[in-house]
Structure 1
């Protein structure tokens, strides 16, 4: 087992739960890699392996948000988030970065790193791994392109902007990234899903760069089956009846498919399933959502730790994830690890997690009727779900170790 290589993970914010980068950091440390995390802000207390930046850096980030808001004034809401990083902090001299042999760049926008900050890291000459949690790394600024494929060319006349210009901001950002990526040969790109991996091979930015597919992982000591009756008592949920879970920080986000889920629940209600309750987590009480659904709703709020998340997955009989854009589907893997089947649309990286009618149901994209049929199928035919073996932590860690041997052979002893 390797004891020598040192890695650092960079991410804008480090939340206390539901975080792919943090889980990878922990798993690597548990398997002999010296792993550290550096973030702009954090919910987790700093220690020898976790650190976040100072007040000055957060002020810079707040100023960047003003530029972000200005750039997004004309963004069409249904296409989601667009980012053009203007301001950021130079972290190339931070001791976590200086002492690292390999640098992971996760989600570093919202004022943490701008293009100048990214280039200063590239100039260090150390192997850099861009871990792509969405599509921003391979596009002219959108985080999900939906059906658009202009990132394979110029990103001109971007669909995200009203009255988009041929040489608009997305086209400028794409050109800037092209110059930056092709200037350095120490850049590597990792996708958690084969879906995004295939898209990256088509992007003008990454088609000629080293590309790898390594899934996300979850902690199986936390996300595992538990007694349903007991966890429902802990969460003050009814011990009888059927409970369906739905989770999102913002349920009405353009990425989360709320309108399709609402229609699907209406169709399920028409089948006379009066015993169903809906458990909504990740957001606070929302009267509009409660009044829109035909079933009793239970809002459990934002889950502050992974243990609470695992309790909810174990409390429900079925988890529904109607995402319209999903690079991987971490919540789906969490649910399956807890033995709870999942219904979701067949899009993005989701089909790599769900085996249709085996551990869940893959509904036709944006088809509320099929989503409803999936809900009824799972409630009637599937009593449990299971994660596929390729998502085992040991398998995934070995893939990262193999990657180090390839990109930093002189630093890897194992």
Structure 2
């Protein structure tokens, strides 16, 4: 059975990381799996990039710009420009040899100029069974990637809070209707990375209206032999970090994305500093991701910046050097940062949102608090620093039992066999 994974990238974004890890796990398990991406940076022979030369790169940029700017007349707030995808521009891959050869098409994240709604419809009309891992909610909403408190996706969408002129027949309602018509005769099996995402998909009218659309739940996988605990002193020395400090780690693809909650982390750290100014001599912050310099001047503690980390080995070392990872996200599915941190034996302090409580057991392998409660987030930091050894050991055990590559690969193979009738 040939499985083709389809994702916008093999490098950029959490979905890309999760998809590539799953591809590797499936191939190591013996599955015949390959991946098609719009533009790739990997030298893996199983990953095929559509962008291969100067002109195809120019075309990719044009389609990306067209997709983004087509939404500008509808957007309510430019800061949330990428919170909604209209799916107007993309590539028709239905005639691609890899698609034609595949027995099952496995979709991941397909937005920002990769697959338009028309392109998705053409894939559906190939008649091939589709498995779609839900890295966010776009597949079953009128266009948003995270609905927040909006429940419109459970009916017909419309009156979208992300749009400048919300109404019963706004862009979200029209796109919801298009998807409803597209999905009507489609064979799609959705897979939530978290049970939280699965439950939202189950509530979606786009899924409920057709019994063909089942929803499963499978955690993302990780190489637990790569992301594992190590001697902190040795790793810190290699990274040029202090060996005698408590080090907090924070990071995201884009740290200024409001959804990532950087403002709550800043408030928590300022609260800790006000409560005990001597913590400046004991506590420091490691940060990675885009735009970390934007908040550095507000920090009451020394920050060690790592910016965008492209090397997986270096990312492993950051976790291994840390005493804890802080996740102040207000909306998230199954963050790779939590999976990676736990596998490295580093406990996580975070808000009780999305799929996070499915991984973090309060005061057992980390610390959970109510969303937005930054004072409690600060208390969680202190608690974990005082109980880090036991919490870290429990985090590692959880990762080994839930994220191990072979176990995740087996679950997906079972899904492939069920949808392909094999």
1:171-250 correspondence runs (5 A): 171-184=173-186, 186-207=187-208, 208=210, 209-250=213-254
Q: How many residues align?
A: 403
Does 1:277 find its partner at 2:277?
no
Distance 1:252 1:17, change over 3 A: closer
Post-superposition Cα deviations, 1:10-57, rounded to whole Å, max 9, x if no partner, equal 11111079600000000000000011011001121352x111113447
CA contact (8 A) 2:249 2:324 kept: yes
User: What SS does the aligned partner of 1:249 have?
Assistant: strand
CA contact (8 A) 1:16 1:43 kept: no
Which runs of 5 or more structure 1 residues have no equivalent in the other structure?
A: none
- Give the alignment partner of residue 401 of structure 1, picking from 404, 413, 417: 413
- Give the alignment partner of residue 112 of structure 2, picking from 101, 110, 113: 110
Offset of residue 60 of structure 1: 5.0
1:2-401 correspondence runs (5 A): 5-15=1-11, 19-45=17-43, 47=45, 49-54=46-51, 55-56=55-56, 59=59, 62-73=62-73, 74-76=75-77, 81-184=83-186, 186-207=187-208, 208=210, 209-272=213-276, 273-274=279-280, 275-283=282-290, 286=293, 288-383=294-389, 384-385=391-392, 386-387=395-396, 388=398, 389-401=401-413
Offset of residue 98 of structure 1: 1.5
Query: What is the RMSD computed on CA atoms of the aligned residues?
Result: 1.7
Offset of residue 258 of structure 1: 1.0
Which runs of 5 or more structure 2 residues have no equivalent in the other structure?
A: none
For residues 61 and 123 of structure 1, the distance between their equivalents in structure 2, rounded to whole angstroms, comes to 27
TM-score (ref. length: structure 1): 0.93
Distance 1:60 1:245, change over 3 A: closer
Report which of the two has the higher share of helix.
2
Offset of residue 66 of structure 1: 2.6
For residues 57 and 415 of structure 2, the distance between their equivalents in structure 1, rounded to whole angstroms, comes to 32
For residues 248 and 285 of structure 1, the distance between their equivalents in structure 2, rounded to whole angstroms, comes to 9
Offset of residue 78 of structure 1: 6.7
CA contact (8 A) 2:66 2:89 kept: no
CA contact (8 A) 1:318 1:342 kept: yes
TM-score (ref. length: structure 2): 0.92
